[in-house]
Amino acid sequence: MAMLHPDEDNHANQLSDEQGICGWGISPLTTVVGQHGLDNFDGSLRLLKEMTKRFSSEFDIRYFLLADQERALNIIIEWVDDPNTHVRRLASEGTRPRLPWAMQLPQLRMNPQPTLPILEALRNDKEEYVRRSVANHLNDIAKDHPNLVASMAVGWMQGANKEREKLVRHACRTLIKQGHTVALKAVGVGVPEIEFHGLSLESSTVEFGDALIFSVELRSTSDGPQ
């Protein structure tokens, strides 16, 4: 703890200096805490919380989730109200079940319910950096529990502002690519309400290499945009 740079707000992307370690210099230290700090479970998580303010501890809190998920989440859930942006993001990013380049969390892949209160608490965070993590976390869950995330998307879009809409769309990107009907409906893509008024061809034959010119008229029968 005494090695850390005293500025906990603006040094996550800075170089270490005579005042303390920050930025990339934190990375090997978080690994030491993650791999060797389980015997001091609560103290090590407090230390990783401080380290993430100066870089990121998203990989290393996962050792504690694997060792005792319930105990770790009881600590991590308190971070959603922390004034530091990096700490709030860590609550979401570090608990992602499929975090890229990190060990997966099999229990949370099987049952993501324990982290949903974290995501609910952070979905309206003032920082897009945090909301982006929530979206990526939901996208992780969607790969194993598509119907759960699609259902949440429908609920979260009720009365949503532009920031929430952006979050939900990013969270559902995998489901949208897969054509999940509920997810598509959540982002405003439903069964089209249209009238078809026929197809006309400019000619009944076309030479190989030439263009086939045609026209069609479609008319919306919906009262709203679609």
Average the pLDDT over 58-71 and give the result. Answer: 98
Residue 149 belongs to a domain: no
Note the pLDDT of residue 95.
98
Mean of per-residue pLDDT scores for the chain: 95
Contact 89, 78 (CB under 8 A): no
Note the pLDDT of residue 9.
80
Q: For residue 111, give the 3-state DSSP assignment.
A: coil
Give percent above pLDDT 70 in the chain.
100
Count of positions (residues) in the chain: 226
Question: Which stretch of 150-154, 189-193, 207-211 has the lowest confidence by average pLDDT?
Answer: 189-193
User: Nearest CA to 152 among 131, 138, 173, 137?
Assistant: 138
Residue 111 belongs to a domain: no
Contacts of 157 (CB under 8 A, 6+ apart): 164, 165, 168, 186, 187
Residue 196 belongs to a domain: no
Note the pLDDT of residue 3.
94
Q: Please name the amino acid found at residue 13.
A: N
Read off the pLDDT of residues 124-183 as tens digits, 9 standing for 90 and up: 999 999 999 999 999 999 999 999 999 999 999 999 999 999 999 999 999 999 999 999
Residue 82 belongs to a domain: yes
Residue 33 belongs to a domain: yes
| pLDDT level of residue 224 (50, 70, 90 thresholds) | confident
Residue 221 belongs to a domain: no
Note the pLDDT of residue 13.
82
Q: What is the residue whose two structure tokens read 């945009």?
A: 225
Q: How many domains does the chain have?
A: 1
Note the pLDDT of residue 20.
95
Read off the pLDDT of residues 68-78 as tens digits, 9 standing for 90 and up: 999 999 999 99
Asked whether the CA dihedral 152, 157, 161, 162 is positive or negative, the reply is positive
Cα separation of 147 and 69, whole Å?
24
Q: For residue 200, give the 3-state DSSP assignment.
A: strand
pLDDT at 12 over 80: no
Note the pLDDT of residue 204.
87
| pLDDT level of residue 225 (50, 70, 90 thresholds) | confident
pLDDT at 226 over 80: no
Average the pLDDT over 106-114 and give the result. Answer: 98
Residue 87 belongs to a domain: yes
Residue 117 belongs to a domain: no
Cα separation of 71 and 150, whole Å?
29
Q: What is the 3-state secondary structure (H, E, C) of 12-30?
A: CCCCCECCEECHHHHHHHH
Domain that holds residue 14: 1-102
Cα separation of 111 and 123, whole Å?
20
